[in-house]
Amino acid sequence: MRENKSLERSVERKAAALFAASAPFSALYRLEPLETVAAVKRGVPARFLMRIIRDMAMPKHYVVQTLGLAPSTAMRKMESDATLNLDESERVLGMGKLIGQVQTIVEESGDPAGFDAAKWVAEWIKTPQRALGGKRPDELLDTADGRQLVSDLIARQQSGAYS
């Protein structure tokens, strides 16, 4: 019982920091699975979706559609700074984790100075990928399995096993 309360308090503190406007996306990618589950169940603030849209420099409707969110609901929640439901939270957090994955790869493998992971992801997801049967990654981001395929492809690109 105490462990559950402790985990909840830890997740609440971490969530507040993770969803702050200046928090690095790489921190999302580094979350432990139980922390991710707790954050999704707690609900992601709609302002985090707004941050993703802003940082990717993409139109709201494109990001909302790409993630398979109901447009009117997403817009209403962003305007009122509401909390996203479980499904919406999972999708939005998943996009944040993809950006964080790219950010982490560049931090670990290259020179992160001047690199903007969110903008790179925004452009890359619109490009057909042979490894995805010619599909664009943005066509797959509305499902958990699709996000996993995209994440796996990003990981393969880092290792050089791309194709």
pLDDT of 162 above 80: no
For 61, the domain range is 2-159
pLDDT number for residue 106? 93
Please name which of 145, 99, 149 lies closest in space to residue 124, comparing C-alpha atoms. Answer: 99
Q: What is the mean pLDDT of the chain?
A: 90
Q: Which residue has the higher pLDDT, 114 or 82?
A: 82
Q: What is the total count of domains within the chain?
A: 1
Tens of pLDDT, residue by residue over 90-101, are 999 999 999 999
Which of 119, 76, 93 has the alpha carbon at shortest distance from 39? Answer: 93
* pLDDT tens for each residue of 26-62: 999 999 999 999 999 999 999 999 999 999 999 999 9
- At 6 the pLDDT is 72
Say what the alpha-carbon torsion angle 15, 18, 20, 25 is, to the nearest 10 degrees: -150
Binned at pLDDT 50, 70 and 90, residue 21 comes out as: confident
CA 96/CA 117 separation, integer angstroms = 10
83 phi and psi angles, rounded to 5 deg: -95, 140
Return the half-sphere exposure (C-beta side, CA atoms, 13 A cut-off) of residue 52.
31
In degrees and rounded to multiples of 5, residue 149 shows phi and psi of -60, -45
For the stretch 141-151, pLDDT in tens is: 999 999 999 99
On the CB side of 10, CA atoms within 13 Å amount to 12
Check if the beta carbon of residue 93 is closer than 8 Å to that of residue 46.
no
DSSP element (H, E) containing 152? helix 144-159
* pTM of structure: 0.89
**Among 132, 146, 134, residue whose Cα is nearest residue 95:** 146
